Amino acid sequence: MLSHDTDGVCGDRRMYSGGLSMNMPHHHHEPRVLILGGFGRVGLEAARYLIEETDASLVLCSRAAREIPAWMKKSAAHRVQARVLDIENISALETACAQVQVVLSCVGPSGQVGDRVARACKRVGTPLVDAGGYDPLLRSLEQAEKDTPSGVPLVINVGLLPGLSGLFPHWLIQDRCAGRKLEQLDVHYVGRDAWTYNSAWDIIHSLGGFGEDRGFCYLQNMRVVRVSMRQASRKVLFPAPIGRASTMLIYAEEIARLARQHGIGIARVYGANIGPRATLVCMLAKVLRFYRSARGIDRGARWLVEASARDMRKLAPVYGMRVDLRYQDGTTDSAALTLADTYRATGAVIGTTARCLLEGEGPGPGVFMLHEAVVADRFMRQLEKLALVCIQHEESEPSRATAGMSV
């Protein structure tokens, strides 16, 4: 079922070519995809992508019986089916996972789901694409791989942040570097939307660095270098409608892995929530360490839901990413990506990843983050075709980024 990738696109990457035959009941000709959390914001958007861009039939799961939305019935009633499933019921979860070619996990909050879904997929041998998971799931799965290697790809953190946030710089490096030695990578993320409770729960939970509070830091030769709060801020110019935004240094595991993969000397990641009320809640939750207890996370998540919804009364959702590359020879490359519908784009990223696996273009068995799992160029082209993202390459202008620190 697995063949070795010989086209050299991505080093030792092995293609997963078992999608269409694995676990396929004989009477089905089209692949079947199970969407856990299929009636949630992200789940419905992933379903939308798969309905519009593939022939796959979908099983949308929820804990209580739900009606398939009218727009879905209209365009794809014969391809969509609803199913009641609680992921706490492990044997029902395994049975459902075993009956499909790919499982999409859009269940939240990730911090409560833990490795339940990923382990079920691993046990029954069905590839997984997970909207979240974050560092704790990555750690847990990589540890489990040492004891029992997976027979299928388990692709986690597949969304905008993390997800596209690692793939976009990876794509830019592959597309632009042309043999030059990369010395420095600066990545900046900003976004705002009205977050669901489950997404907000994961945002508050992440503020504590998942138990490894590294403070404000960047990476120098793969070593974490901490800086003061004053040194950690940076104003960055994004394309309209975002404009200039204040960001702070953060630690991002996917960029750490990217820096290791490309042998980058200095890697800095800056992030900010740019809804004014949501920013305030995140700052409060960080200073008051809400992330340390279940009660604190719940309170922070409820505040964030309320604050981000109020932000969106006057502002539109938006997400932006800016990547600056500096090579050893002094030359630079910069690009920015912006999008307006964060949930739709998250669903499209998850759907495109599922499509790669179904079409045999995924990685071999193992645990991957998005940028490690797909062929970046093909993926970005597919995403651009949907007209959900706008990518602009820029001439380098060092004065555009006003750094509050010097390295």
- Residues interacting with ligand NAP, by CB under 6 A? 36-37, 39-43, 62-63, 86-88, 106-110, 131-132, 159-163, 196, 198-199, 202, 346
CB nearer ligand NAP, residue 124 or residue 401: 124
Contact 342, 34 (CB under 8 A): no
Least Å from the CB of residue 132 to ligand NAP? 4
- Phi first, then psi, for residue 194 (nearest 5°) are -90, 105
CB nearer ligand NAP, residue 63 or residue 235: 63
CB nearer ligand NAP, residue 15 or residue 138: 138
Least Å from the CB of residue 387 to ligand NAP? 19
Least Å from the CB of residue 347 to ligand NAP? 9
d(CA 174, CA 170): 6
What amino acid occupies position 102?
Answer: V
How many beta carbons lie within 10 A of that of residue 395, not counting itself? 8
Least Å from the CB of residue 398 to ligand NAP? 30
CB nearer ligand NAP, residue 51 or residue 182: 51
Least Å from the CB of residue 310 to ligand NAP? 18
CB nearer ligand NAP, residue 23 or residue 199: 199
Residue/partner pairs of 397-406 with CB below 8 Å, 24 or more apart = 398/332, 400/236, 400/237, 401/186, 401/234, 401/235, 401/236, 401/237, 401/324, 402/234, 402/235, 403/234, 404/230, 404/231, 404/232, 404/233, 404/234, 404/235, 405/227, 405/231, 405/232, 405/233, 405/234, 405/249
CB nearer ligand NAP, residue 58 or residue 401: 58
For residue 40, what is the DSSP state? S
Longest dimension (CA), the chain: 63
Least Å from the CB of residue 357 to ligand NAP? 17
